[in-house]
Amino acid sequence: MPASPATAESTLPEFIWDEALIRRYDLSGPRYTSYPTAVEFTPDFRVDDMVKAAGRSKAAGGPVSLYTHLPFCAHLCYYCACNKVITKKRDKAMPYVERVLKEAAIQSKLFGADRPVQQLHWGGGTPTFLPKDVMEHLMAGYGELFNLQSGDDRDYSVEIDPREVDEDTLPTLWKLGFNRISLGVQDVNPVVQKAVNRIQPREMTEGVLNEARRIGFRSINLDLIYGLPYQTPESFAETLESVIDMSPDRLSVFSYAHLPDRFYPQTRIQGDTLPSPQQKLTILHNTINRLLEAGYEYIGMDHFAKPDDSLAVAQREGRLHRNFQGYTTHADCDLVSLGVSAIGQTDDAYFQNNHDLPAWEQAIDAGQLATIRGVGLTRDDQIRRWVIGQLICQFRLDREQFQAAWGADFDSYFADELRRLKPMIQDELIGDDGRVLQVQPAGRLLIRAICQIFDLYRKEGASQRFSRII
Ligand SMILES: C[S@@+](CC[C@H](N)C(=O)[O-])C[C@H]1O[C@@H](n2cnc3c(N)ncnc32)[C@H](O)[C@@H]1O
Ligand code: SF4
């Protein structure tokens, strides 16, 4: 098992798999890409609330993160739970991007055009569905509306479907300023690929990854999913060997939750072709062991990274943060989000655009913002967001740091939570020496359950609206 470089302040525990504990604490739980989580967003939070939040953000200044949701995909993957629009018509891309730029013009005024864009992300759907000239048009428009950066410390990332890459795609993205990519893979096994309607030969993925590396992209990530039809512990072990051979800097290994009532495309997947819960647990256990053995670090919440990748470094140094794009090293960025269903964030608010494409288009065409819900944060929400952020990113919480950040005594503020944490301390998911709460090796996989203790909105524990932890 790889040891993390240890310092007095940031010794990361190793990993322990305890199946009895996993079963006891395997409740459904939020992924805490926000706190309060998206289920607390309400339609009472209106466009003018968003405008005021953006105004406060502008007054405070500082760098921003710019997210764009690009929803189109040429083919439907049957497992997919993302907000996407399946179409073969590439000519849909330009009108969409024109509207994104209209929305960007409004938001740039609200948030401030001068603030450095330290982080930029194109997600989807499939951003590489966009023809080259459309990508260029979008980034050129952003260049006029925002203060895009060219320094090495910028993180400009894009989600790539290797099936939607031609010889121009990667050089174009590099020229546009992207320096990080994430490739959707899911599984390299042909039987699994056929069952989920995603034929993507291993050589295709490897070719794109090698080309990206040659061009200079760093922190190259691959997405895998376990729990897909026809996967077995043996088949997934083989997939993992192929992927380790490709040597990505980061790996996301997501759990597939089969919810055909919620995600219509999943009705094309037959329940009896899925691995059993016990097989899924075995796959996860083997995957973690193998990735640790191969030299990756477990960052938490489905994410692995090589020890020299910026995510692993930031975690060791206590600088890791989490937002809607997952883990990030950019703590102080407010999130300006554009496109259908996109979620923005400031110090004291979250707000989401309409997730229905025609409705989003209608709002933009009327010269309006498309915010349909959100939530304003109380001071208590901000405090709890900080606490959950420390636990989920750093796996530790220092009472002195809490006092310094919030001017409050941790033990008095969280007396009830500390009482409810006791069984977890007894079960050695988390340790408490009176100064620091430290997530223990057996607690790292169950971090969502630990975080839920500090979540005011789920004091009673599990809520069925969240996917299962494992
Ligand atoms: C927007 S897609 C990535 C970019 C591109 N569309 C692609 O598929 O290559 C984001 C990722 O979400 C994950 N994902 C989508 N649906 C999922 C589901 N039902 N369960 C778990 N992961 C899922 C996949 O790993 C996918 O790569
Ligand atoms: S996984 Fe990616 S390519 Fe497949 S449908 Fe979802 S967003 Fe589109």
Environment class of 354 (CB within 10 Å of its CB; exposed 0-12, middle 13-18, buried 19+):
buried
State mean pLDDT over 200-224: 97
Q: How far apart are CA 212 and CA 179, in angstroms?
A: 9
Ligand 1 binding residues, C-beta < 6 A: 73, 79-82, 123-126, 159, 161, 184, 186, 223, 225, 254, 256
- pLDDT above 90 as % of the chain: 86
Name the band, by pLDDT with cuts 50, 70 and 90, for residue 259: very high
pLDDT of residue 329: 85
pLDDT of residue 326: 82
Q: How far apart are CA 187 and CA 169, in angstroms?
A: 23
> pLDDT by residue (tens digit) across 67-99?
999 999 999 999 999 999 999 999 999 999 999
Q: Smallest Cα–Cα separation from 389: which of 349, 334, 447?
A: 447
For ligand 2, atom 2, name the residue with the nearest CA. 125
Q: How far is CA 214 from CA 72, 135, 170, 184, 297, in A?
A: 28, 21, 10, 19, 24
Helix and strand totals (H; E) in the chain? 16, 20
The tokens for 27 are 């409740």
Which of 69, 70, 72, 76 has the most ligand 2 atoms within 8 A of CB, as the residue to mutate? 76
Cα of 198 to ligand 2 centre, how many Å?
A: 9
Name the band, by pLDDT with cuts 50, 70 and 90, for residue 59: very high
Which of 72, 161, 223 has the most ligand 2 atoms within 8 A of CB, as the residue to mutate? 161
Res 324 pLDDT > 90: no
State mean pLDDT over 306-325: 91
Res 4 pLDDT > 50: no
**pLDDT mean across residues, the chain:** 93
> pLDDT by residue (tens digit) across 364-398?
999 999 999 999 999 999 999 999 999 999 999 99
| DSSP state letter for 395 | S
Res 1 pLDDT > 90: no
Cα of 270 to ligand 1 centre, how many Å?
A: 19
Q: How far apart are CA 72 and CA 91, in angstroms?
A: 11
Terminal-to-terminal C-alpha distance of the chain: 22
Res 363 pLDDT > 60: yes
Cα of 336 to ligand 1 centre, how many Å?
A: 22
Name the band, by pLDDT with cuts 50, 70 and 90, for residue 29: confident
Residues in the chain: 470
What is the Cβ-side half-sphere exposure of residue 410, based on CA atoms within 13 angstroms?
19
Q: Which residue has the tokens 């410390």?
A: 153
pLDDT of residue 17: 85
Choose the weakest-confidence range: 122-126, 171-175, 179-183, 463-467: 463-467
Ligand sitting nearest the alpha carbon of 182: 1
Residue scoring higher pLDDT (302 or 273): 273
Q: 197 with 76: CB under 8 angstroms? A: yes
Cα of 163 to ligand 1 centre, how many Å?
A: 14
**The pTM is what?**
0.94
Res 467 pLDDT > 80: no
Cα of 393 to ligand 2 centre, how many Å?
A: 27
Ligand sitting nearest the alpha carbon of 468: 1
State mean pLDDT over 391-407: 96
Environment class of 173 (CB within 10 Å of its CB; exposed 0-12, middle 13-18, buried 19+):
buried
> Which residues are CB-contacts of 86 (< 8 A; sequence separation ≥ 6)?
72, 73, 74, 75, 76
Which of 68, 159, 199 has the most ligand 1 atoms within 8 A of CB, as the residue to mutate? 159
Q: Which atom of ligand 1 is nearest to the CA of 183?
A: 9
Q: How far apart are CA 97 and CA 366, in angstroms?
A: 16
Cα of 82 to ligand 2 centre, how many Å?
A: 7
Ligand 2 binding residues, C-beta < 6 A: 73, 76-77, 80, 82, 84, 124-126, 161, 184
Q: Which atom of ligand 1 is nearest to the CA of 256?
A: 20
Rg (CA), the chain: 22
Cα of 280 to ligand 1 centre, how many Å?
A: 18
Which of 197, 225, 467 has the most ligand 1 atoms within 8 A of CB, as the residue to mutate? 225
Name the band, by pLDDT with cuts 50, 70 and 90, for residue 322: confident
SS3 readout for 84-150: CEECCCHHHHHHHHHHHHHHHHHHHHHHCCCCEEEEEEEEECCHHHCCHHHHHHHHHHHHHHCEECC
Cα of 221 to ligand 2 centre, how many Å?
A: 16
Q: Which residue has the tokens 């989600």?
A: 159
> pLDDT by residue (tens digit) across 331-361?
779 999 999 999 999 999 999 999 999 999 9
Q: Which residue has the tokens 């004291």?
A: 348
Which of 70, 75, 77, 200 has the most ligand 2 atoms within 8 A of CB, as the residue to mutate? 77
- pLDDT above 70 as % of the chain: 94
SS3 call for 468: strand
Res 161 pLDDT > 70: yes
Q: Which atom of ligand 1 is nearest to the CA of 263?
A: 19
